[in-house]
Amino acid sequence: MTPELEKNRIVPQLNTRWLGQHYTYFADVDSTNLAIRQTLDRDPLPAGSIYVTDFQSQGKGRLNRRWSAPRGSSLLFSILFQPDWPVEQHSWLTIIGALAVVEAIEQQTAVLVDIKWPNDLVVKIDGVWHKLAGILTEGMFSTAGFPGSIVLGIGLNVNIQMQEMPPGQTPATSLMALTGQKINRAALLIEILNRIEPRYETAAAGQSPIPQWQGRLITLGQPVRVTHIHSRKQIDGIAEGINQYGHLLVRDASNEVHTVTAGDVTLQTPV
């Protein structure tokens, strides 16, 4: 039987011009982000190329953390971009990915999803935030301040049963756990990809995705603790705002405002 996420089941239904048109499906792979990078080390790939899998043996989170999901249960994919914009702006891809996933879910199910800075899609269940999806954007930088290639990796828990939920600091949930129904992964992936291309083109033309994203961030206005990954230095303060690159602005007790970028911190939000 043809796997649900195999190329022939997806690409003919895309209404994109370039995104997802170069489509590679793996029954299993170490990590879709890693696999794109490894291919790029050998051969060129067109922008918009996507790698999709049913299982990752070394799924990656940020800061060397792991992303795990039972075989065939989820959406696990990575898309290659080659944007012609400054390096600082590469966080826009995480933002575009988050918005596309949130809207696709809302279009196909009744689940309302919030965003926790910088890269978590979360749902509140009985007063407790649960993680539904995570995004890992990795850049391979060229010289002259331009980012070269960037890989946007998305892991979305679709049909994971309660008893199979991956353990984590934030408890996990899935669309099936939330709706009580098995969700069509192919239809959801198509919807997400169809939403990413126009969002990316709008951003590439200079229109920021940040105002829309900001409206869905649960982090703003909240007390947060930021821990720098290398120095372990901590900042306690209030998450006051977002700058034009999506960095978090945290005001500490002495009124100093710190600009926090996603790459080198962990964030605790007591929500």
Residue 202 three-state SS:
helix
Binding mask 154-183 for ligand BT5 (x = CB under 6 A): xx-x--------x-xx--x-----------
Q: Is 135 an interacting residue with respect to ligand BT5 (CB under 6 A)?
A: yes
Q: Minimum CB separation from ligand BT5 for residue 216, in Å?
A: 16
209 near ligand BT5, rule: CB under 6 A: no
Residue 220 and residue 239 in contact, taking contact as beta carbons nearer than 8 Å: yes
Alpha carbon distance 263, 247 (integer Å): 10
Comparing C-alpha atoms, which of 108, 118, 153, 112 is closest to residue 132?
A: 112
Residue whose beta carbon is closest to ligand BT5: 134
65 lies in the binding site for ligand BT5 (CB under 6 A): yes
Residue 188 binds ligand BT5 (CB under 6 A): no
Q: Does 56 bind ligand BT5 (CB under 6 A)?
A: yes
Burial class (CB in 10 A: 0-12, 13-18, 19+), 232: exposed
96 binds ligand BT5 (CB under 6 A): no
| CB 23 to ligand BT5: min, Å | 15
Closest distance of CB 134 from ligand BT5, Å? 2
94 touches ligand BT5 (CB under 6 A) = no
- Residue 256 dihedral angles phi and psi, to the nearest 5°: -80, 140
Nearer to ligand BT5, 111 or 251 (CB): 111
Length of the chain equals 271
Binding to ligand BT5 by residue 33, rule CB under 6 A? yes
Q: Report 248-267 residues binding ligand BT5 (CB under 6 A).
A: none
Q: Does 31 bind ligand BT5 (CB under 6 A)?
A: yes
| Angle CA 178–57–23, to nearest 5 | 80
Among residues 119, 137, 159, 219, the one that binds ligand BT5 under rule CB under 6 A: 119
H-assigned helices in the chain: 7-10, 32-42, 91-108, 175-179, 185-204, 210-214
| Residue 59 is a binding residue for ligand BT5 (CB under 6 A) | yes
Distance from the Cα of residue 47 to its chain's centroid: 18
Site for ligand BT5 contains 3 (CB under 6 A): no
Q: Answer whether 145's CB lies under 8 Å from 139's CB.
A: no
Q: How far apart are CA 81 and CA 47, in angstroms?
A: 5
- The footprint of ligand BT5 (CB under 6 A) covers 31-33, 56, 59-63, 65-69, 76-78, 119-120, 131, 134-136, 153-155, 157, 166, 168-169, 172
